[in-house]
Chain A
Amino acid sequence: MSSGVLLFCFDTEHTRYHKILERCIRLVKKNICREITVVTNFDTYQKMSPMGFINYKFIEPELGNTKLGKEWNNVDRHMAYELSPYDTTLVMDIDYFCFSDNLKQLFDTGYDFLVPDTAHDLTGRNTFDQRRRSMIPMVWATVLLFKKNDKVRKIFDTVKYIKQHYSYFTEMYRIYVKNLRNDYLFAMALQQINGFVGYETFPFALPTLPPDCEVVKITDEGISWKHGDQISYVENQDVHVLNKEIVNV
C-alpha cells in the first residue's frame, strides 16, 4: 500500500507561492517522512529551487477565484483523488507547516476519510468561531487524509457536484462568503454524502495564525509572529499560516 503527501502550488501575479512550498516541503520531508507529489503548472515549476526527490503533476489551474481582491488559485482540490498516485494520501495546504510529526501517524489509521473540524487561534482571540452563522458544521480542508476506495471516490464526486452548483448550495447552507473555499465545499459534500449526520474527524484543532499576524521568523523548529505590539512563538507545533507575506520572511 503506497502512501504520500499531495500539495498544490500555483504562483500568482501577487504571491510567489513556490517560496512557501519550498519551506513546506522541507518540513514534510523532516517530519512526515513520506513521498511527496506537487500539483503545479510549468511556470511555477520553473521558479522552484531543486528540492530533491519530488513527483510533479502539471495541470493548468482553474482561474477566476479571488481572495481580498487578489488572484487565488485554490479551486483544484476536488481533483486530489484523481491526481494522487497513492493509496493513502495526505493533502495539505502549502501554508500548513509541520513543525511536529503529529500528522505522520495518521497514515497508520484505517479511516477512509479524515478532516479537521476545528481550528485553534494561536492569538487567543477565537477568530474562527464566526463561521457558526452557517447551518452546518464547518471543516478545515487545509489538511485531508483519504484512502482510494469507492466510498471516498463518491465523496470527491459530491465535492465536484457542489462546486458546479456552488451558489445554490451556499444559499441553502447560509454561507455568505462569495468566493469559493474548499472548507465550505468539503463541509457541504461530507454532510450530503453522509446522510446529513456526522463524519469522522481529526481529534485535534488545527493551530492557525490569523492573517493579521506578521510572521517575523521561521525556522525548521517553529515560528514567531507579531500581532499589535505582542511577539509570540511556538515550537514543535504545526501551524497554518494565513498571512501570505510569509513569502518574504
Chain B
Amino acid sequence: MDINELKKQSDLSYDIAVAKRNALEKAHSRQVVVYREHLFRADPVTICLVRTLKESRDRFCVLDTNSNPVEITDPAEFLSILVERNQESLNTYYQVYRTFTKKDA
C-alpha cells in the first residue's frame, strides 16, 4: 500500500473511532432517567433486573445510580420508561453509526 494512502486510511479510522466514542458517550448520558426522584441508568443490566423482579413481585427495591434503595411500586411503568429511553438513545447512536460505516466503505 502507498504510504500516503495508509496514512489517509489511518487518519480516517482514528477520526471515526473518536466520533464513535463521542456518540457512545452521548448515548450513555441520554440513558439516565429520573424516576421517583432518583436517577437510574436505562442500561441492559437495569432493564433485565427490573424485568426479572417484575415477573414474581408487584413491588420491589432497586438501587439508584448513587446506591440508594428505591421502592418500585409500579414495575410496568418503570420498565416501560427504561426500555423507551434505552431504545431512544441507541436508535440515535445507530443513526450516527451508519454514517461512520458509509465513510469507512
Contacts and interface: CB of A to CB of B under 8 A. Distances in A.
Where chain A touches its partner, the secondary structure class is loop
B97 to A, nearest CB: 14
A207 B32 contact: no
A18 interface: no
Contact of B30 (A100, A122, A205): A100
B66 A111 contact: yes
B88 to A, nearest CB: 11
Interface stretch (A73-81, A132-140, A170-178, A229-237): A229-237
B41 A237 contact: no
Interface in B31-81: 32-34, 37-39, 41, 65-66, 68
A109 B22 contact: no
Interface string A166-209: 00000000000000000000000000000000001101110100
Contacts of B68: 200
Interface residues of A, number: 24
Interface in B1-54: 11, 15, 17-19, 21-22, 25-26, 28-30, 32-34, 37-39, 41
Contact of B21 (A100, A106, A124, A203): A124
A207 to B, nearest CB: 6
A64 to B, nearest CB: 36
Interface in A226-245: 230, 232, 234, 236-238
Where chain B touches its partner, the secondary structure class is helix
A204 B28 contact: yes
A229 to B, nearest CB: 8
B34 A102 contact: no
A120 B25 contact: yes
Interface of B: 11, 15, 17-19, 21-22, 25-26, 28-30, 32-34, 37-39, 41, 65-66, 68, 92
16 contacts: A102-B32, A108-B34, A111-B37, A111-B39, A120-B25, A124-B21, A201-B66, A204-B25, A205-B25, A205-B29, A207-B22, A207-B26, A232-B19, A236-B92, A237-B22, A237-B26
**Across the A-B interface, the 10 shortest Cβ-Cβ residue pairs:** A110-B37, A203-B65, A124-B18, A204-B29, A237-B26, A200-B66, A105-B34, A108-B34, A120-B25, A203-B32
Interface of A: 100, 102, 105-106, 108-111, 120, 122-124, 200-201, 203-205, 207, 230, 232, 234, 236-238
